[in-house]
């Protein structure tokens, strides 16, 4: 695996990898912020199935963190991550330093309306602008044929799909943005780099999040009114030891529009805080 930190060597390396792989070879990109876990590695394995060349990026993107968020505390472990990626047979690790990504005087912002509103977009102003801007840059830098993202960050996936379509980033390949189902721990908690912040007690309590979501979906399926179900879900999450429920909402899976009652395309989205840690999850309702 080649680890690259600056733009010119990146372009030379992707060109050389493509030459070596021959015409028709596909290059897949898996963008991450590092502190890799099995969720990330599942994306990498899927990328390997779909493409001859696999590139992973690791960049903790300051533009997607708010002023009071965990940018400084965010786990950074590049050496361990590199070893994991070598074991997965990754060809290229793109780990730009901050000046390679945001040179002095950087002044451009990409803002995707509609799908960015609500949910994490409402709780974290500017977050999805930061995501869209960095992902657009990653696409231009690495020039992959396909890119893989986790459904764990469903709204992020919707934002990226809309941006790619609107800006013709992948015009020839309509399914170039690949969503990968959420990878969960044995007790159902969605894997996340932020789970490392949890104490043993908090980690135990955190399993209440997917558990209460599953029982909410069962109640919705048998016809209980969404308002009651979501109220009970929030109360149960708080009773399990969470400190706040930022949102518990039904939304259309594609447009991310709020739904008063579930339809065929409905998804349940929840964000809740335990200690200083904010956890998110989402599940299909149908």
Q: Which residues bind ligand AMP (CB under 6 A)?
A: 32-33, 39-40, 43, 149-150, 152-153, 180, 182-183, 190-193
CB of 208 to ligand AMP, least distance (A): 17
CB of 127 to ligand AMP, least distance (A): 12
Neighbours of 199 (CB within 10 A): 11
Sequence-distant (6+) residues with CB within 8 A of 210 are: 184, 187, 188, 189, 190, 281, 283
Nearer to ligand AMP, 188 or 275 (CB): 188
Does the annotation mark 37 as catalytic? no
Nearer to ligand AMP, 145 or 153 (CB): 153
CB of 120 to ligand AMP, least distance (A): 12
Contact 3, 59 (CB under 8 A): no
- Looking at 37, 40, 127, 224, which residue is catalytic? 40
d(CA 99, CA 106): 10
CB of 190 to ligand AMP, least distance (A): 5
Nearer to ligand AMP, 83 or 261 (CB): 83
Nearer to ligand AMP, 207 or 238 (CB): 207
d(CA 49, CA 27): 11
**Which residue number is nearest to ligand AMP in terms of Cβ?**
150
d(CA 210, CA 253): 18
Query: Could you write out the DSSP letters of every residue in 95-114?
Result: ---HHHHS-TT-------TT
Residues annotated as catalytic are 40
């Amino acid at each position: 695996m080649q680890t690259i930190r600056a733009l010119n060597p990146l372009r030379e390396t992707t060109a050389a990898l493509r030459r070596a792989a021959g015409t028709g070879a596909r290059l897949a990109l898996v963008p991450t912020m590092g502190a890799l876990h099995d969720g990330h590695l599942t994306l990498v394995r899927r990328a390997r199935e779909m493409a001859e060349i696999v590139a992973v990026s690791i960049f903790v993107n300051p533009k997607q963190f708010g002023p009071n968020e965990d940018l400084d505390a965010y786990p950074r472990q590049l050496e361990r991550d590199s070893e994991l990626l070598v074991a997965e047979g990754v060809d290229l690790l793109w780990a730009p330093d901050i000046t390679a990504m945001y040179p002095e005087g950087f002044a451009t912002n990409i803002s995707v309306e509609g799908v960015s509103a609500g949910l994490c977009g409402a709780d974290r102003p500017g977050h999805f602008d930061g995501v869209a801007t960095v992902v657009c840059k990653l696409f231009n830098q690495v020039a992959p044929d396909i890119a893989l993202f986790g459904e764990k960050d469903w709204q992020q996936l919707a934002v990226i799909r809309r941006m790619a379509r609107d800006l013709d980033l992948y015009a020839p390949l309509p399914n170039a943005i690949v969503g990968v189902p959420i990878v969960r721990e044995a007790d159902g908690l969605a894997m996340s780099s932020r789970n490392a912040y949890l104490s043993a007690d908090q980690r135990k309590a955190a399993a209440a999040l997917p558990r209460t979501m599953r029982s909410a979906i069962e109640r919705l399926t048998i016809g209980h009114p969404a308002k009651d179900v979501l109220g009970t879900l929030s109360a149960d999450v708080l009773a399990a030891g969470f400190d706040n429920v930022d949102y518990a909402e039904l939304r259309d899976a594609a447009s991310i529009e709020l739904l008063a009652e579930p339809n065929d395309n409905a998804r349940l989205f929840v964000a809740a805080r335990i200690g200083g840690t904010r956890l998110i999850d989402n599940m299909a309702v149908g």
